[in-house]
Amino acid sequence: MRWIKKSIWRRRVVWALAAVFAVAGSGRSSGPIGAKAVAQATPRPVAAAAAPTAPGTRFVVVLDAAHGGDDPGGRLNGQSEEAFTLAMGVRLRSLLAARGIQVVTTRESDSTVDLVRRAEMANHANAQVCLSLHGTESGSGVHLYVSNLAPAQPARIAPWKTAQAAWVTRSLALAGTLNSALLQAGMTVTLGRTSLPGVDSMTCPAVAVELAPERAPGKKVTAELDDPGYQARAAEALAAALVEWRGEAPQP
């Protein structure tokens, strides 16, 4: 009975978040991720993914540090976005490994990895979570983006560019768990939905996480992206959220 009540509550949370994301994103984001996600994945079919993982089974998180190599990304207070996302990925990977979570990374160095390859790595890993890590000087706190694909039933062979459609509902639920943990850590959170070419080809719950400087109500910056304490607070909150996500029963 307790599990049933929790399941009903989770459904209501997902429906509420879907409404919030719809208002925040209304199909397309004008924010930094929406502007940068221009590379197109090569169309190809993808096999249908398995159902959500039951408690106690293999749990894999894919950390996708955006940009790298030929694509440095934006400039963030004197550093490149590619360097920032890689550093955040290393920090978060360490926290997750210490909690017994298996981590797969899409890049370990300043190397070029196209969007097709990033999605292929996530799908091959049979991941239960993929976080696409980004940075920006715009806005404040943490921006969470979910694919703007309409939810769809799983297909035996899903079109490559819209494979995420069968996972959008779970991705919204994942964003809700991330949102709660970040708010508990005292961080500002912005929710949105946008076209995410790499994520749109993934067959797992996936959220793009974009970290911006921390700002006071008057827009004064109180913590820059290169602030180790600020990075640690964000990474700790994300790790706590993924530990909670791992412990949840699969939702019908």
- Give 213: exposed, middle or buried? Use CB within 10 Å, 0-12, 13-18, 19+: buried
With contact defined as beta carbons under 8 Å apart, do 99 and 239 qualify?
Answer: yes
Range of weakest confidence among 6-15, 53-62, 93-102: 6-15
Q: In the structure encoding, which two tokens stand for residue 27, read together?
A: 């199909």
| Segment 117-130, tens digit of pLDDT | 999 999 999 999 99
In the chain, where the domains are located:
2-247
Q: What is the mean pLDDT of residues 70-88?
A: 89
Q: Give CA–CA dist 179/181, Å, rounded.
A: 6
Degrees, nearest 5: CA angle 73-94-90: 15
Q: Give the global pTM.
A: 0.81
Of 91, 106, 109, nearest to 227 (Cα)?
91
Q: In the structure encoding, which two tokens stand for residue 84, read together?
A: 């920032």
Rg of the chain over CA atoms, in angstroms?
17
132, β-bridge pairs:
64, 208
Of 23, 29, 31, 60, nearest to 135 (Cα)?
31
CATH entry 3.40.630.40 includes domain 2-247: yes
pLDDT value of residue 102: 96
| Segment 30-54, tens digit of pLDDT | 344 644 433 333 444 444 443 444 4
Residue 101 pLDDT class (50, 70, 90 cuts): very high
Q: What is the mean pLDDT of residues 208-218?
A: 94
